[in-house]
Amino acid sequence: MSEPLKLNNDFVVKFANVNGSGSASANAMFAKSVLRMGVPVAARNIFPSNIQGLPTWYEVRITGDGHLGRRGGVDLMVAMNPQTWDRDIAEIEPGGYLFYDSTKVLPESRFRKDITVVGVPLTRICNEVYSVPRERQLFKNIIYVGALAALLGIEIEVIETLLAEQFAGKDRLIKANVAALHMGRDYVRNYLAPLGLQVHRADAVGDRIYVEGNSAAALGAVYGGATVCAWYPITPSTSVVEAFMDYCEEFRTEDETGKARYAIVQAEDEIASIGIVIGAGWNGARAFTATSGPGVSLMTEFIGLSYFAEIPAVIMDVQRGGPSTGMPTRTQQADLIGAAYAGHGDTKHPMLLPQDPGECFEMGALAFDLSDRLQTTIFVMLDLDIGMNEWLTEPFKWDDTRSLDRGKVMTYEDLESGVDFGRYKDVDGDGIPYRTYPGVHPSKGAYFTRGTSRNPYARYSEEGHVYVDNMQRLLRKFETAKSLIPAPVPRKSAMATRTGVIYFGSTTPAMHEALEILESKGHHLDGLRVRGFPFSDEVYDFIAAHDRVFVVEQNRDAQLRTLIMNEGDVDPAKLPPILHYDGTPITARFIAAEIGARLGASAPRSPVTEAAE
């Protein structure tokens, strides 16, 4: 028997539930109650592509030190799903805890000897108090939250406040929920003792906010001046547009008339969605769509057109496991190559790579300035982990002196003053031409938009050298993009080192924690977080300054690494890939073990196979 774990403000609780049982809101409330006690949490939903019946998990990492990535391993399993019982039990750390519904007596063989088992007869308590089946199910969730609060030292008043906020104005519901909460708490008080895992009030959250990346990106689109949105529902991106609708209704309704300063169209498919976006962009409105990998592949022809015809568009790609009949509810970073080179002919597109919801907001807004400035499609590459989970993140910031950068647009006055207008002429040497909005001037500035086969004045031409000149200008424009994409963020090791690591997006917090773990074992690595594509010189300088640079990402084919090698002259042997692609968010322990093993020292223990796999 392992010694029971004793951990304060630093442990992982995992809830195993049945989808559609109403557990999600109770679990989220559990996580939020810890946050309200000033202790950071990182909570992740691991859920099936299903509305009701299949297994679902919710993992809450309580992390006084503020490690917001997944750690790996489970200290307390709240096993509410008989279907996954065995796998769930197996996942508990030695010395860990199991919380379960003890109404039905289970043989000893169903448990483990090296863990502490805590039983609360949830079903019995419910059946004694409630007669309506739906009530029994919903209140059971609240009862276990009450029991867990008592077991883990969470202040019950904090949860009562959360219930009052959630059901504001519905006193009857508040009362009923608080009563259920107390039932759980009281059972623990009467029959059980607190666990070795304890939450203590702290002041480690600061002014940070707790929000989903999809919602943050949608708010970014509002601040970025998007007025047209066309979309087709696809997990995990749907909530981007749902949030955009809500924010628009709130912030984009004209006071005097109640009319909409936005247009949102649910299109018949992704092709029409991007078509609408391209049409609106051509006509001078800021427009975007939100989708995932399968949607991007359908949009590819239009994305290519946007590249050649130089039309601003923004695509928020919330990445998931592929393909269409793939793993829509599992996270991956597997659309990088598909997005970067979407199209036929020679095409490439800038991408932004946010690390958390805070950057989803920033980059969600920035994407619209960049798309107007560069007159091309800009991808904002979220993933399910950032997009659909609430993350603790720095508060959103906005500089009120900032205005929308509409890029190089010739106005009526410009045209009237006699400036020479050639739609595809490189006037400033940065590869970016000037454009006009349709209808701007009665006799000047009109042009016929085509992909290619036209000269700098947009007149028909199939001459080879005209085509080549245009393609070279588009390359110059891509060079210009390097200076506009957010620069990579270095993370210097405490000691000088010839080993580095490159990573991006939702991998970041787990990566930083892994670097600390590795450092504690004597492995020093410089880090570089890439924030966009095309890569600036800093990325290649970083690689040049190190002998070996690991590239950590959540896909099978090392897609970021491929892009780095393809866009610059790098010896592949210098860039060992560290890849995690089972559909669950990457963990600090996984990264530390993989890199540790390659650095040839005693690696931390390798991670346990998860129930979700």
**Window 281 to 310, contacts with other proteins (CB under 8 A):** 281-285, 287, 301-302, 305, 309
Instruction: Count CA atoms closer than 13 A to 173's CA, side-chain side.
Output: 10
Q: Give the residue, chosen from 404, 468, 544, 601, that forms a contact with other proteins under the rule CB under 8 A.
A: 404
Q: Min. distance of Cβ 405 from other proteins in angstroms?
A: 10
- Which residue number, 157 or 165, has a Cβ lying nearer to other proteins? 165
Are 309 and 291 in contact by the 8 Å Cβ rule? The answer is: no
Find the part of the chain contacting other proteins (CB under 8 A) among 18-26, 170-178, 251-259, 589-597: 251-259
Q: Site mask, other proteins, residues 530-569, x = CB under 8 A?
A: ----------------------------------------
Residue 459 near other proteins by CB under 8 A: yes
- Which residue number, 37 or 588, has a Cβ lying nearer to other proteins? 37
Query: Residue 230: enclosing H or E segment and its boundaries?
Result: strand 228-231
Q: Which long-range contacts (CB under 8 A, 24 or more apart) does 424-429 make?
A: 424/310, 424/454, 424/455, 424/456, 424/457, 424/458, 424/470, 424/473, 425/456, 425/457, 426/456, 426/473, 426/476, 429/476
Q: Min. distance of Cβ 592 from other proteins in angstroms?
A: 31
Residue with tokens 């912030």: 251
Q: Min. distance of Cβ 6 from other proteins in angstroms?
A: 30
Q: Min. distance of Cβ 259 from other proteins in angstroms?
A: 4
Q: Min. distance of Cβ 215 from other proteins in angstroms?
A: 9
Residue 449 near other proteins by CB under 8 A: yes
Find the part of the chain contacting other proteins (CB under 8 A) among 72-80, 102-110, 195-203, 254-262: 254-262
Q: Give the residue, chosen from 263, 565, 579, 608, that forms a contact with other proteins under the rule CB under 8 A.
A: 263
Residue 440 near other proteins by CB under 8 A: yes
Return the residues of window 461-480 that contact other proteins according to CB under 8 A.
461
Name residue 45's beta-bridge partners.
58
Q: Min. distance of Cβ 24 from other proteins in angstroms?
A: 18
The site that binds other proteins (CB under 8 A) totals a number of residues, namely 73
Q: Which long-range contacts (CB under 8 A, 24 or more apart) does 171-180 make?
A: 176/139, 177/139, 177/142, 180/139, 180/142, 180/143, 180/146
Are 389 and 247 in contact by the 8 Å Cβ rule? The answer is: no
Q: Min. distance of Cβ 432 from other proteins in angstroms?
A: 19
Supply φ then ψ for residue 589, to 5 degrees.
Answer: -65, -40
Q: What are the C-alpha distances in Å from 476 to residues 239, 283, 483, 530, 549?
A: 36, 25, 12, 22, 29
Residue 597 near other proteins by CB under 8 A: no
Q: Give the residue, chosen from 47, 99, 210, 503, that forms a contact with other proteins under the rule CB under 8 A.
A: 210
Distance CA 241, CA 244 (A): 5
Q: Give the residue, chosen from 19, 177, 436, 584, that forms a contact with other proteins under the rule CB under 8 A.
A: 436
Instruction: Name residues whose C-beta falls within 8 Å of residue 416's C-beta, 6 or more positions apart in sequence.
Output: 441, 444
Return the residues of window 480-519 that contact other proteins according to CB under 8 A.
none
Q: Min. distance of Cβ 151 from other proteins in angstroms?
A: 26
Q: Is 8 helix (H, G, I), strand (E, B) or coil?
A: strand
Residue 259 near other proteins by CB under 8 A: yes
Are 82 and 107 in contact by the 8 Å Cβ rule? The answer is: no
Find the part of the chain contacting other proteins (CB under 8 A) among 15-23, 77-85, 396-404, 557-565: 396-404
Query: Residue 479: enclosing H or E segment and its boundaries?
Result: helix 464-484
Are 334 and 319 in contact by the 8 Å Cβ rule? The answer is: yes
Question: What sign does the dihedral 265-270-276-280 (CA atoms) show?
Answer: positive
Overall residue count recorded for the chain in this entry: 613
- Which residue number, 438 or 522, has a Cβ lying nearer to other proteins? 438
Q: Min. distance of Cβ 31 from other proteins in angstroms?
A: 14
Q: Min. distance of Cβ 284 from other proteins in angstroms?
A: 4
* DSSP alpha helix (H) spans, 153-286: 156-166, 171-191, 213-223, 238-251, 270-282
Are 409 and 434 in contact by the 8 Å Cβ rule? The answer is: yes
- Which residue number, 56 or 273, has a Cβ lying nearer to other proteins? 273
- Which residue number, 301 or 557, has a Cβ lying nearer to other proteins? 301
